[in-house]
Amino acid sequence: MSGIILPGADGQLFQRDRDWHPKADTPGYKSTTFRAPRHSLLSLGPTQSEMTGPTFGHEKLGALDNDLIRNFSQDGTDAIGQRMVVYGQVLDENARPVPNTLVEYWQANAGGRYRHKKEGYIAALDPNFGGFGRSITDENGFYHFRTIKPGAYPWPNTGNDWRPAHIHFSVFGHAFAQRLITQMYFEGDPMIWQCPIVATINDKAAIDQLTARLDRLNTTPMDALCYRFDIVLRGRRSTMFENKLEGN
């Protein structure tokens, strides 16, 4: 988006807040210094094939794609961990639902370990947990999936930093070239405020928007907790996306 001011639903204008997104180089999160751009950014328009290429549809989803408790199970038993349902609505800047959008999510297991060959944490793998799933939003913009609560994990930033429990999200637009990525945290987690990555975000309201709310009324009795996490694609109340440096 190249304009500075976005039109609202009733002619109201949304001013872009350029402080919403962290600066590209934030030394407390050490690796940003190595990958932050050193030159002015170039704007590249979308190519024809990007805009007209195939998109992902409902028919491509498997029955267990939104069930991380079962979608990687090797022996038919459930993944280990605190069971929960995560759901939410994908919205545009005027709070209109965004239907038929591919939402992907990935996370560590209950011990805080990823199933990845470069994972360096000693926590045990769960043979029945893969850590990845996907949904397509329904006609009202809602997605939902079943999973277990991920554990916190350490990372070698300054020697002894820890990430709060979190789930990574990706949302696709009208084409695969349009992809936004963010992270979801859990309400009430004290680790959020000690995380060097979270600390790169200047605005507490932006951090609050990345924090899922416990939805006590929608818990499943004797089965699963429930958390709600809405995603706002742009505008003044936009979710903070990791790869959207322009801020809207």
Q: Which residues are catalytically annotated? A: 114, 153, 163, 166, 168
Q: Which DSSP letter does residue 34 get?
A: H
Q: Which residue from 147, 143, 22, 8 is spatially nearest to 72, judged by alpha carbons?
A: 147
Distance CA 93, CA 134 (A): 23
Q: H/E/C letters for each residue in 35-93?
A: HCCCCCCCCCCCCHHHHHCCCCCHHHCCCCCCECCCCCCCCCCCCCCCEEEEEEEEECC
Distance CA 83, CA 78 (A): 10
Q: Which DSSP letter does residue 191 get?
A: G
Under 8 Å between Cβ of 146 and 83: yes
Q: Which residue from 63, 48, 17 is spatially nearest to 175, judged by alpha carbons?
A: 48
- Computed on alpha carbons and rounded to an integer, the radius of gyration of the chain in Å comes to 19
Cβ atoms within 10 A of the Cβ of 166, count?
Answer: 25
For residue 161, list its beta bridge partners. Answer: 155
Under 8 Å between Cβ of 247 and 6: no
